[in-house]
């Protein structure tokens, strides 16, 4: 299985309404794409993402998502600037559970464990 990672800029996301953004994410994930968004979703958007995921789950093809928000550590000044501009600095990793097994936070890093159907002969190389 090929692994497709799409990086989505904050400019692309800014032009979408909240519903458009959630539908865009779910649409991509259902095509087996892992997205790295150049912004964090706010908690309400995250809840909407989970809710939409639950509505879209079907027993055969789509079992859900894994996602992780990586907040940008910023100063109070940055936070105020972000609040005024509405821009949420950080990253979000989101993808289908059939590809992402887990996303875990280490002391200095974030690890994403992906499932790849690599044939046994290739694994040995």
Partner 1 sequence: MLGSFKNVLRRILRVFNKKKIIQLGFYGPVNAGKTTLANKIAKDWLGKELGNVSEIPHETRQVQKIENVEVSTGSGKLSMNIVDMPGIATQVDYKRFMGFGMDDEEAKTRAKEATKGVIEAIKWLDNVDAVLVVMDSTVDPYTQVNVTIIGNLEARGIPMIIIANKIDIKGSKPDAIESAFPQHLVVPISAATGKNLDELYKAIENYLT
Binding site residues, partner 1, CB under 8 A: 42-44, 46-47, 50-51, 53-55, 57, 59, 63-69, 97, 103-105
Gap between the Cα atoms of 106 and 116, Å rounded: 22
CB of 11 to partner 1, least distance (A): 23
Instruction: For partner 1, give the closer residue by CB, 38 or 66.
Output: 66
Give the H/E segment covering residue 111. Answer: strand 110-114
CB of 124 to partner 1, least distance (A): 28
Write out the two tokens for 18.
Answer: 């909240």
Gap between the Cα atoms of 120 and 34, Å rounded: 24
Instruction: For partner 1, give the closer residue by CB, 109 or 121.
Output: 109
Write out the two tokens for 61.
Answer: 């093809």
């Amino acid at each position: 299985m090929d692994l497709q990672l799409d990086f989505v800029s904050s400019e692309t996301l800014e032009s979408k309404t909240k519903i458009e953004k959630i539908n865009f994410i779910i649409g991509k994930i259902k095509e087996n794409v892992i997205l790295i968004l150049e912004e964090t979703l706010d908690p309400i958007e995250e809840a909407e993402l989970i809710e939409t995921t639950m509505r879209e789950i079907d027993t055969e093809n789509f079992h859900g998502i894994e996602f992780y928000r990586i907040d940008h550590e910023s100063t109070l000044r940055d936070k105020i600037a972000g609040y005024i501009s509405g821009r949420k600095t950080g990253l979000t990793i989101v993808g289908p559970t059939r590809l992402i097994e887990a996303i875990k936070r280490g002391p200095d890093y974030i690890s994403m464990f992906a499932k790849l159907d690599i044939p046994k002969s290739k694994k040995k190389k």
